[in-house]
Structure 1
């Protein structure tokens, strides 16, 4: 059963006529003075989390580049090993900001502001099995623990004064606890248009009953009916008018992109062609740029949902496409397992770069354009992070749990220090390969524990100071007692 999105959250205060209730941002100037101060204070405590999973693992050098051998500006001992940090050494090539052959993007997108909010982390290991770990990047453990997104969705301390809202879940990355078992979470929708309808047009289903078709009306026209009522109120300040105008512009752009990509009529009828149909169209797997466009359409709708207070968590990991020229299964055999061939490795790296620039950075940039009731942007109070299904390195097998590449953008309301290259590899310890050489390091659970605390989750909802997240010590011999003892603390240099 799909979760029901409760539209009566604090930020969706405007009740429309005719039984319609559509989402618009909180506009503080329309609230009583005491309520305005309370709303602004509550808005400042809000946190937002986005996570994008990349399937398989990549070699260290294409991903980290010069960061692998950079001269550290700080060193310390942590968890029984020596670790290092340095500022991110960006260079410029043509119109691109560059850290490595994968971590590069247009300077107009990876702006100085977003570069300053970026961290690149190496040397974090999964504590549990290798293989295809669908929930591993979010801390999920089959039959043991749900993924981080589901913890946030159910934690009262994450929402505080707001009504709890489910995470927006896409594909195989999320595990939920249901009836005492940990099972794969059902995705919120299988296309951008269906998610759009569900979040903004009230088409959720319950108890297996099919949802009714959405009204034959343009979304923005219906929202504008209510926005016009707000704008006619003389107490609506210039700032709130600007904020509402920006929100309507964003929704207009979302709908225009959906219609342009799907070739649907202006009344936005359903059923209609959408990203799912685009995925199934001839030539889709030979057109990675179109795959990126699909991700950006999803991003548009998620950001609109965040701005309207419908949800604060989005996790995704496309499985029908890979940002390369092949579908997942062909990609797995020909590319993920073929990276010993430099040509194949370059093709794999190009696909990962497309996801980084076209999906992750696109999301961060869009979140940074939306101001909330306290004047901060969604990104100011958020964290956008990536994680790999498997570790980075080389032989043997490209299926291992060592050195999961992590890039994060945002400081989660000032919780994280940013602009850093953080290297937690144990360069004097565990090693499996000489071509290329790679190592193990600290526990990935420690990073996720910091994310839990950054999102404001209290120990009453989850004690991330035990062993990080999921808070359960794995039975393995890869990581020492000292590493597990450190797993519930903050990683060096990362806490502001």
Structure 2
């Protein structure tokens, strides 16, 4: 199907001057063309994660009175209710934003009661299934689920428009993959993350201009030399052979990207860059924090609108002052030790709630609303997405018990939305609250592996495509050996056996 040039009226203009051309609108096509356009529509995956956690349940989640329905699952009752926004745009103190409308809430889910079965302490990759990335004990590393999607031929069945298999944004360390993604025996390392909205734009868009003849692949010009060096040089070590193979694989991917023909036109590059905000200081400046992430969000929307990428991760990590200050906070207190690690003290909890509310409103919901404003073949761009936000820890920092998950988008119709789902087992106490300034109690629930497996199924994969352990969800399973850990021996065999299933209430 040939797409005509878009008019100037069919664009969205973002904060930094970037103009995003809208996709073609099927309602303007004849019936046969419209039917063809809706077949095989792509799904998109976006994951956001913020540091520490430490938000009390009463501040993070909707009220328990919301939970009106329950079913027996894994040996106990799990509950759900409909998300309902109050008159001030709030689902909870953290989940509050002026732009949070009932319509957007109907496209969201809030999930409570998702745990890891072991003490992970500080980590980054654990939010996407690489549980070996931890400041606690050394454990086996695995690729994160975003990278599994990025290199899956089932997810990317057609790469003809894709300039970036995945966009890794923010503080480094959230996304991990093999040094050669097509060789499962190659080492696993964390990926470079981009913080410059201008540089990111250059990677997700090239001016289509006149159609040019396909370039001769670089790899074809060096293949004979590569084979001779790889196979004939006895001095070449096994490690150097791996490095050489990795380099050739990277050249092959560069060749593929050089020959991508972008069909989306009328895109104006951003006039302001996120890193320009560092000039004059970014720390403790909430206005600059907001602009920083919204400039990056604009580029994400451009990439998904033009279909030059379908996988995005945003790690809202420590600021570049070693965690002394926090995103969306102007406090002069040292953030890591004096706020996050003391977050159950009432005054520090107020600071943490305000910061996480800022992340929800100015990063997560800003991006969701922008995606929802772009019309796609079957609804809006957001409707094709599974977008979620989680935090490093649950309500107790370092502890992955009751990890919060907030989603937006229906994954192309796979996912039910509008739910507050509570997967906690009220009969199994994890933290009893004794000695804690807030007396916060937590309860064991279902495994976070099950959530990531659900997300992979929503993206069109089958369990055989991603499971390391049959029926185990995404990622390896580890179990606490420390008797002091609140999750020690709190997960029944029924819970473990359920990890390969879609989470209750979510499958459409």
Q: Does 1:193 align with 2:224?
A: no
Give CA deviations for 1:321-355 in whole Å, capped at 9, x if unaligned: 33234699931112101213211111111010001
Q: CA deviation at 1:85?
A: 1.1
CA distance in structure 1 between the aligned counterparts of 2:70 and 2:24, rounded to whole angstroms = 47
Q: CA deviation at 1:56?
A: 0.4
Match of 2:96 in 1: 104
The 3 A distance-change label for structure 1 pair 429 and 47 is: same
CA distance in structure 2 between the aligned counterparts of 1:181 and 1:13, rounded to whole angstroms = 45
* Residue pairs, 1:265-344, within 5 angstroms: 274-278=273-277, 280-321=278-319, 322-325=326-329, 330-344=334-348
Match of 2:14 in 1: none
CA distance in structure 2 between the aligned counterparts of 1:330 and 1:200, rounded to whole angstroms = 39
Supply the RMSD in Å over aligned alpha carbons.
3.4
Match of 2:183 in 1: none
CA contact 1:173–1:317 (8 Å) conserved in 2 = yes
CA distance in structure 2 between the aligned counterparts of 1:72 and 1:375, rounded to whole angstroms = 31
Q: Does 1:425 align with 2:420?
A: no
CA distance in structure 2 between the aligned counterparts of 1:343 and 1:453, rounded to whole angstroms = 41
Equivalent of 1:362, from 362, 366, 381? 366
Equivalent of 1:91, from 86, 97, 104? 86
Greater shift after overlay, 449-458 or 334-343?
334-343
CA contact 1:446–1:489 (8 Å) conserved in 2 = yes
Q: CA deviation at 1:463?
A: 4.3
CA distance in structure 2 between the aligned counterparts of 1:465 and 1:408, rounded to whole angstroms = 26
Which runs of no fewer than 5 residues in structure 1 stay unpaired?
1-9, 15-22, 209-222, 228-243, 263-273
CA contact 1:452–1:464 (8 Å) conserved in 2 = no
The 3 A distance-change label for structure 1 pair 422 and 401 is: same
Which runs of no fewer than 5 residues in structure 2 stay unpaired?
6-19, 133-139, 181-185, 208-217, 220-246, 249-260, 320-325, 434-438, 481-488
> What TM-score do the two structures reach when normalised by structure 2?
0.73
CA contact 1:175–1:182 (8 Å) conserved in 2 = yes
Q: CA deviation at 1:417?
A: 1.6
CA contact 2:143–2:176 (8 Å) conserved in 1 = yes
Match of 1:315, SS?
strand
Q: CA deviation at 1:89?
A: 3.5
CA distance in structure 1 between the aligned counterparts of 2:420 and 2:468, rounded to whole angstroms = 24
The 3 A distance-change label for structure 1 pair 452 and 73 is: same
CA distance in structure 1 between the aligned counterparts of 2:178 and 2:423, rounded to whole angstroms = 32
CA distance in structure 2 between the aligned counterparts of 1:294 and 1:370, rounded to whole angstroms = 22
Q: CA deviation at 1:464?
A: 8.4
Q: Does 1:159 align with 2:186?
A: no
Match of 2:413, SS?
coil
Match of 2:507 in 1: 495
Match of 2:44 in 1: 48
Equivalent pairs, count = 410
Give CA deviations for 1:38-84 in whole Å, capped at 9, x if unaligned: 443122xx1011111010012333533552x3263222222223221
* Residue pairs, 1:418-457, within 5 angstroms: 418-434=417-433, 435-457=439-461
Match of 1:387 in 2: 390
> What TM-score do the two structures reach when normalised by structure 1?
0.74
Q: Does 1:82 align with 2:77?
A: yes
The 3 A distance-change label for structure 1 pair 461 and 490 is: closer
Match of 1:432, SS?
coil
CA contact 1:465–1:489 (8 Å) conserved in 2 = no
Match of 2:188 in 1: 182
Give CA deviations for 1:401-445 in whole Å, capped at 9, x if unaligned: 100011111111121221111111111113223212222211011
CA contact 2:430–2:490 (8 Å) conserved in 1 = no
Q: CA deviation at 1:375?
A: 4.7
